[in-house]
Structure 1
Amino acid sequence: MIHLISDILFYSYLLFGVIYLYILLFKSFKLKYLAEISGIKPYVYLLIFGAFYEVIFTAILRVPSAYWVTPYTLFEFLTLSYFFSKVLKSYRLIFSFFVVIFIMFFFASLFFWNLENHMKIEAYHLALETIFVFTYTVLWFKDLFKKPEIVPLWQTPAFYFITGNVLYFTGSIFLFLFIDIIYKSSGLISKYWILALFLGAVMRIMMIIGLLKATVKKP
């Protein structure tokens, strides 16, 4: 049963990827949300590529997922950084600090990377990403509440993008930090990995809602 649920969640990512492609290729976006959508797009394309890669190379060709998951953390951080740079025009010093620290740490960690300890290293990457996402989320809400006009959050694609990622990183950080210990002590991570897959699915659903909120309705 656990493996069935895990497989359903895993292959649902491919379905989400197809939905993203459909929205980006065949939907038009409202002018007032173009800046937010342009910031979100690189992350969405990363999710699409990752979904197809995981199915083709990890599931079918049996290539170890570590060869994708590790570089994915770098691409994920860069696309998240790009998004926040689009929706937050200030705080450049803090932004530059996070980018430099993460990139330096990422490439330094590669000297210690191997198939046996990659999960531990990816957990450290995720921890830095989590700090980054939380910091910029606080700054985004701070700027939002400083605006004189009332912004309806449920109509803003950035709100769904940020909320989905906050939920994902909040739920995943502790799992990733301890998953190496869990794996070495029990050898089984399937039932724990379902949580990460579920949170990833929730984040992707939030992304779809956000993208659809920004589209132009047909007359």
Structure 2
Amino acid sequence: MFDIERSKAGRVGATIRHLRITSKPLKVSPGLAHYTKQIIEKSQKLIKKGKRAIALDLIAHTLLPLRENAILWLWHNDLFVYYEPKTRQMWRAIKSEDISKLLRKLGFSEGIMILHTLGHSETSKIIRRIFQRGPYSWPWARSVSYGLKFLGLLEETTNFKIQLKRIDNRIELILWDLYTKQKICNYTINWDYEPPEPLKNKQFVIATVLGRQHIRKEIEMDSYINNKWRL
């Protein structure tokens, strides 16, 4: 969990007990604690109702740095690989031991994670209810992940190569290290729905995955941290 200073404890309570960090005490802004608590509790309720796709989509677009139209393709160990169609470098990766622990606690398994795309319509409604920022609700939702990154709970990583292959209703994903060429993982799922991007109109994709965020550090801090999640 977050180790919040005693002076903050009465105000934010047991806000983010589902995430654990043991290195040192952290000062967590009440706003970040409030939204993270809402997201996790809502995800738990969705899981209990059997709405796993919606719960996963909510986590992907808040606790991980996915834009509204982005797709979480892979979770392996502490690594998350996602596709951002509106950015020049479309494939990104980020690491988080804490988000991995949370997903396991919620009953999710590692592998191809595109199940979340089936819950996106309902997730959009939930995000607007949680953040209540009108057209800015989605940027606020994504900013939560940058608050977590500021606290060291999300980390940048190395670069990879990813390969996707679609054969009938089966999708195969292979990931390997860009520099050592060592294969990291290989997953296959059966998928009876319309394939998400970038396989929507393709049978085969191979691309480079960057392990750093796509915005400059100073822009990231100004846009996503200042006046939101910093104390």
Q: TM-score, normalised by structure 1?
A: 0.28
The answer to which structure, 1 or 2, has the higher relative contact order (CA under 8 A, 6+ apart) is 1
Higher helix share: 1
Higher strand share: 2
